[in-house]
Structures are given as C-alpha cells and as structure tokens.
Structure 1
Amino acid sequence: MPKVSVIIPAYNVQNYIERCLTSVSNQSLEDIEIIVVNDGSTDDTLDIILKFANFDNRIKVIDSENRGVSAARNRGLFQATGKYIYQIDADDWIEQNALEEMYEVAEKNRADVVIANAYIDYDNGTLLPFIDGRLINEEPIKDFFLGNIKASVWTKLYRRDLFTNYNIGYVEGIRVGEDLLINFFLMLQAKKVIKIEKSFLHYIQRENSAMHSYKSSMYDIYKVFDEIESFLKRSNLYRKYKDEFLYLKYMHTYYFRVISSVNLSSIHRDFYRKWRRERDRYLGNRYILEFLKEQSHVNRLLNELYTINYFLGLAIGVVKASVKQLKSLLWGHSV
C-alpha cells in the first residue's frame, strides 16, 4: 500500500501539467502513487502525461471522456490504494517536502485530516497567503461551517478510510461548490483534524480559469446547500447546526456573490433576488452579525444599502469594482 495517493484531474492544461507533475514526482516522500485523470482534453495534455508516465512507474494514467472535474476526481478516488489521499489541480504545484511533512503529522497524531496553508500565485510573481484551518476545535464540522476550515481540497491530506468507510465521493454534475460539498461530508465524519502552520501548495491564478468565469454554473452553489440542508434534516442534525449552516450559506450565496463581488452581471442580481426572498432566515444570526461588525466601512455600507434596495448597493458596488480594476491595472494582477 502506498503511503499517499495523489489524484490529479487534468483538462486542457498543456501549459501547466508538466510543472504540476514535476512537483509531485519530485516529492521527498517517494512511496506514493500518482493518479492522473485526463478528462477528455483536446490539446496536448494527454501526450505530456504519457511522457511522464514512461519515466515514472508510479504514475497511473486514466484517459476518459470529458465529464467534469467531479467525475474525474471520483475516478481517481476509485483507483486509489494509498493510506492517505491528496488532491491537486493540474495547473497548480506543491513544494518538494509537502507530502512527507503532512504524512508524518498524520501518522504521528493518528489524524483523519491534516491541513496546511497555501500560496496564491499571480502572473507577475506576487505571492499572497491562503490560510486554511485558522481555528481547529473539537468539532471539525462546526469549524467548517464557520469558515475556519476552508472548502479547498488541495490544502488537505485525508485518510482514505474517510472516503471508503462512509461512501463519500463527489456529486457529479455540480460545477461550482463541489469541494465545499465533499468537505462537508468529510468533516462531519472526521474525528481528528490537525493543522500545520506551513504553506505547501501554489494556487495559480489564471484569468481564463473556471474560477474567473462568472457564468450560469455559479447557480450550482444552491444545489450544494440544498444537499447539505437535506442531509442535516434527514440526520436530525439541522437544529444542532442551524445557525452555523446558515452562516456558511449566507457567506457563499450572498456575501461573496453580492456584497464583495465585482462581477456586476445579471447573475449578480439573481443572487441578490434569491437572498431577498429568504433573508428572514438570516435575521438575528449571531455569526453573521459578528462577521459584519468586523468588515470594512465600505462593505458594511454596501450591506446596508443592498438591504434597502438593489440599485443603491449597486451604485457603490460599481465604484468599488472600478477602483479594484484600476488597482489591478496599476499592480499587474487581480487584487
């Protein structure tokens, strides 16, 4: 049994996959298997993967038709045989000692999940910190709902038993929020979560990446929260975690998508309208109130204006978006 199975879904990443595979193949922890799932790429991605596989027999290549990242990750999970699972996107890369250090911490502490930080890499060489696992208490699911544990899978090493023992996998067809949904199920079952105060992964910011595209797939986030809410109610856990759950939903369906977003499209207004229809659910939520108290004056003002009328908030939002765009042009990256 390999110590770690590394799962890499790849779709049309010919300019990035070599760097990713190099960083994984050169890990100081050698007892690993590398499962690369080519998700129907139409460029030279598969050819590059196969060349690497010819020189590293730890690389297993799965060539499939294009079915999306969730299906690709599920294929990797099904083939994995390692004691632990690590997942990385094909356009990102990791530091050489990443897997060894996370594995040793997991073994020493008998942890179900080990969390590290990451770097956000911009094209001009700027690195910004990405902090995961800011607070870790005795209830990982509560920390997840409160945003202390992030939805990203690439900052975490998971014990494979979490997936197999509880039949946890990605819900295929969900294009935005799939990481959030699977981490909900994983953190619900995790008994011990450990944080390493080190950064290992380099999260590459590409203007043409899926996360930069503000399109209809954004609506999938509602499917994610419907799935979570339904599960909590079926499991008689909704009352216990209601406030924490609604805080997370507020953040991902309203605050991030409306208040702090600079993508002022028709989708932006749709998210606003959805929030207006159910905003009574969030009234008096102590976590939301505490969060808003800590926000900048501009964002607090935006929250108050949007509460009154969409176009009042939009007016300030347009100014904020223009300032952000100007900074991006001056500094050479998105801020």
Structure 2
Amino acid sequence: MIKISFIIPLYNCERYIQRCIESILSLPIVHSGKEILVVDDGSIDKGAEIIQQISQTHSEVRLIQQTNKGASTARNRGLEEAQGKWVWFVDADDQVIWNTTNSFPLESLLELEDTELICFNYKKEYSQALIEHTDYHSQEKIDGVKYLYRHQSLYLWNKIFRRDAILKHRFVDGTKNIEDMYFDMKAIVDMEHVLCIPVYGYIYNQLNVNSTSRNRSLANLRKLSDDTHIIHSLIKKDIETMTGEKKDVFQLLLNISSVGYIYSLITLYPIKEIKKDLTEYRKRGLYPIKKTGIRKYDIFLLITNRILGVIVCRILSLIRHL
C-alpha cells in the first residue's frame, strides 16, 4: 500500500532537483510506502534527464511529462496520478526533512485515521544559514475554520493532506501565483480535524534566483497581477455563496491578500502598470479593499484605497531608493 504521494512540479530546476529527490528518498518511509511523482512542465534544461536516471534505480520515482502549462496544471496532473493515502506537495528547489528522534515519527502520523491535514514548521535556506520559522509550538488539533483564522500565510509545502479530503479540489489551471493559497483555503475550510505539530519538516530555498517568486521581469509582474485578479475574483465569488464563519474567514483572507497585492504594486511595479492594474481590479469589484481588522493594514488602506494614494506611495518608494 502506498502511504504517501509526493507531487513535484518541475520546470528548469536541474540545479536543485536531485537534492530534492534525495531528501525525499531519505525520509523514514519504506520505499514501497511512497511514490514520488515529478511532473515535468516542459523544461528545457536537464532536469527531466536527472529524474529518468534516478528512476532507473528507484522505482518509487516516476517522471510525468507535459507541455508547459504552469505549476498549477502540473500539480493537478500529479493529483490525478497519485495513489497514496496522503499527499505532500513539494517544490523542485526545496528539501523535506524529518528528525527521526522527535516525538512525531512520520510513519506513525501517516497511519492516522482521524486527521485530514498535518501541519508543521519549516526552515528557510539562505547562503549563510538555515532560519527556523515556528508557527506551531505545541501539538494541537483544530477544525479548518479555526486554522484559517490563526494561520494566514498559506503555504502549500508545510502540510501533508489526506488525499480523500482533497479529491474534489484542484488548482486553477494556468496560474502560478497565490494558487497555493486558494487551494489551501478551499480544501481546509471544510475540514474537521487539522493536526498542528512542533516539527520542522521542510526547507524552503531562498537561493534560487530563477524561481517565480523572485523573478522581477515586467512579463512576470504582469502574470503575477493577472493571477492575483483571477484568484481574488474566485474568492469573491465563493464568498457570495457562503454563510457564517466560513464566509467571514474567506473575507478576512481575501482582504489580507489584497493588502499584500497593493504592497507589491507599490514596491515592484511601474506607475503605468499600477494605474492599469488597479483600474481592472476595481472593475472586478475588488477595490477599494475592505478593512482587515488588523491595525497596521487598515492604516495602510487609509492611504492606498485610492489609486492616487498608491501612485504617491510608489513615487516615494522610488525616491527613497535613488
């Protein structure tokens, strides 16, 4: 029986992919209990060749290839192929870790029947050090709504999902920005049993200058803005069909994510793009942004809930960096 499926979108990541796979192979899970599905999203480097070589000696590693359609579509393909009881989404330039001496043996966690999601801490990898990020200081089991209220940095890779709890969910095809946040929101909000544990289970790579999150080209910034508009519009549509706490937490997460979007416009985008993007954002009914209830964010919105305010902030940002 396959206990866990690792799903890894691969796009031009030959420098890091072998390290990533080796970190998974070294986990305390027998090889027959895991499958590693690497979905090559039309790479033009040697990443796919590296996976083919590894798969010759490790039958649990499987290469799936598709034309370039983005990380979301690659993850969806992995979900369609996955056979494990659990699913762990891993990025090709990152690593997984699990201390075999801690109080939460990974294999024991994968035997749990009353849990839909396992959440854990992570480390960020810089050139000089690994920096610990501790979201969970003790063991706790809560429902999905409470989890979303408490933990708003919705990464995908610091979680292990029970596959039957996410069967009806998919990533938004064609998107590669904040698609993980939306998948988490949709999947977690209906969960009854979310287990949070004080274990460091992942190393998030901050060294890869070619990653999407660090690409500052105008084309990539436009894609970031387009994806944000798409995802935020979908959340807005969901909110219109929801009631009670689920509606409230979706609205909160939308407001917080929208503040982050405005901040990225101020710090990264040309003024011409800001005007165009915010005009479209307003047409979608997403701007001005509703209050978050978080004081510093709401003070920020007093200025930036007008296009002119955002532009002035952008000009001041440019002057400060002269």
Distance 1:97 1:2 in 2: 21
Equivalences for residues 53-132 of structure 1 within 5 A: 53-97=55-99, 101-105=105-109, 107-108=111-112, 110-122=114-126, 124-132=127-135
Q: Residue 256 of structure 2 is aligned with which of 225, 244, 251?
A: 251
- Whichever residue aligns with residue 154 of structure 1, its letter is W
Please give the secondary structure, in 2, of the residue aligned with 1:191: coil
Please give the secondary structure, in 2, of the residue aligned with 1:107: coil
Shift of 1:247: 2.4
- Counterpart check, 1:37 vs 2:39: yes
In 2 relative to 1, CA 34–223 (structure 1 residues): closer, same or farther, beyond 3 Å?
A: same
- Whichever residue aligns with residue 161 of structure 1, its letter is D
- Whichever residue aligns with residue 249 of structure 1, its letter is L
In 2 relative to 1, CA 227–63 (structure 1 residues): closer, same or farther, beyond 3 Å?
A: same
Note if contact 2:116-2:165 (Cα within 8 Å) is conserved in structure 1. Answer: yes
Equivalences for residues 130-149 of structure 1 within 5 A: 130-132=133-135, 138-144=142-148, 146=149, 148-149=151-152
Shift of 1:142: 4.7
Please give the secondary structure, in 1, of the residue aligned with 2:6: strand
Please give the secondary structure, in 2, of the residue aligned with 1:189: coil
- Whichever residue aligns with residue 64 of structure 2, its letter is I
Q: 2:26 maps to what in 1?
A: 26
Tell me the TM-score normalized by structure 2. 0.82
- Counterpart check, 1:217 vs 2:217: no
- Whichever residue aligns with residue 28 of structure 2, its letter is S
Equivalences for residues 1-335 of structure 1 within 5 A: 1-30=1-30, 31-97=33-99, 101-105=105-109, 107-108=111-112, 110-122=114-126, 124-132=127-135, 138-144=142-148, 146=149, 148-164=151-167, 167-205=168-206, 206-214=208-216, 215-218=221-224, 219-234=226-241, 237-238=242-243, 240-253=245-258, 255-259=259-263, 262-265=267-270, 266-270=272-276, 274=281, 282=290, 285=291, 288-289=292-293, 291-293=294-296, 300=299, 303-307=301-305, 309-318=309-318, 322=321
Distance 2:301 2:179 in 1: 27
In 2 relative to 1, CA 279–41 (structure 1 residues): closer, same or farther, beyond 3 Å?
A: closer
Shift of 1:156: 0.4
Could you say which structure has the higher helix fraction?
1
RMSD of aligned alpha carbons: 3.0
Please give the secondary structure, in 1, of the residue aligned with 2:200: strand
In 2 relative to 1, CA 262–242 (structure 1 residues): closer, same or farther, beyond 3 Å?
A: same
Distance 1:142 1:272 in 2: 32
Matched residue count: 304
Gaps of 5+ in 2: none
Distance 1:175 1:14 in 2: 19
Distance 1:134 1:211 in 2: 28
Tell me the TM-score normalized by structure 1. 0.79
In 2 relative to 1, CA 168–303 (structure 1 residues): closer, same or farther, beyond 3 Å?
A: closer
Distance 1:161 1:35 in 2: 18
Please give the secondary structure, in 1, of the residue aligned with 2:231: helix
Note if contact 2:145-2:246 (Cα within 8 Å) is conserved in structure 1. Answer: no
Please give the secondary structure, in 1, of the residue aligned with 2:84: coil
- Once the two structures are superposed, residues 143-170 of structure 1 have per-residue CA deviations (whole angstroms, 9 ceiling, x without a partner) of 32x3615321110011111122xx2122
Please give the secondary structure, in 1, of the residue aligned with 2:8: strand
Shift of 1:171: 1.9
Distance 1:59 1:128 in 2: 30
In 2 relative to 1, CA 259–150 (structure 1 residues): closer, same or farther, beyond 3 Å?
A: closer
Distance 2:14 2:76 in 1: 22
In 2 relative to 1, CA 133–150 (structure 1 residues): closer, same or farther, beyond 3 Å?
A: farther
Gaps of 5+ in 1: 324-335
- Once the two structures are superposed, residues 174-222 of structure 1 have per-residue CA deviations (whole angstroms, 9 ceiling, x without a partner) of 2212111211221123210011112221111222210123411122122
Please give the secondary structure, in 1, of the residue aligned with 2:268: coil
In 2 relative to 1, CA 311–262 (structure 1 residues): closer, same or farther, beyond 3 Å?
A: closer
In 2 relative to 1, CA 251–147 (structure 1 residues): closer, same or farther, beyond 3 Å?
A: farther
